[in-house]
Amino acid sequence: MAGKAMFTVEEMAKALTESRGFKTVAARRLGCDWHTVDNYCKKHPELDDVLQQAHESALDQAEVALHSLISPPRDAEGNYKWPPNLGAICFFLKCQGKSRGYIERVEHDLRGDMTYSIKLPDDWPAEDYDDPDINPDSPTKPPQNTNGHFADCDSSV
Domain boundaries, the chain: 9-100
Q: Tell whether the model's pLDDT for residue 128 goes beyond 90.
A: no
The pLDDT, as a whole number, for residue 30 is 95
Q: Tell whether the model's pLDDT for residue 145 goes beyond 80.
A: no
Q: Tell whether the model's pLDDT for residue 138 goes beyond 70.
A: no
pTM of the model: 0.53
- Measured in degrees and rounded to the nearest 5, phi and psi for residue 144 equal -120, 150
With 0-12 / 13-18 / 19 or more C-beta atoms within 10 angstroms meaning exposed / middle / buried, residue 43 is exposed
pLDDT band at 81 (very low <50, low <70, confident <90, very high): confident
User: Rounded CA gap, 64 and 81, in Å?
Assistant: 17
Which fold does the domain 9-100 belong to in CATH? Answer: Arc Repressor Mutant, subunit A (1.10.10)
How many CA atoms lie less than 13 Å away from 57 in the CB half-sphere?
13
Query: Which position has the higher pLDDT, 105 or 29?
Result: 29
Q: What Rg value do the Cα atoms of the chain yield, rounded? A: 31
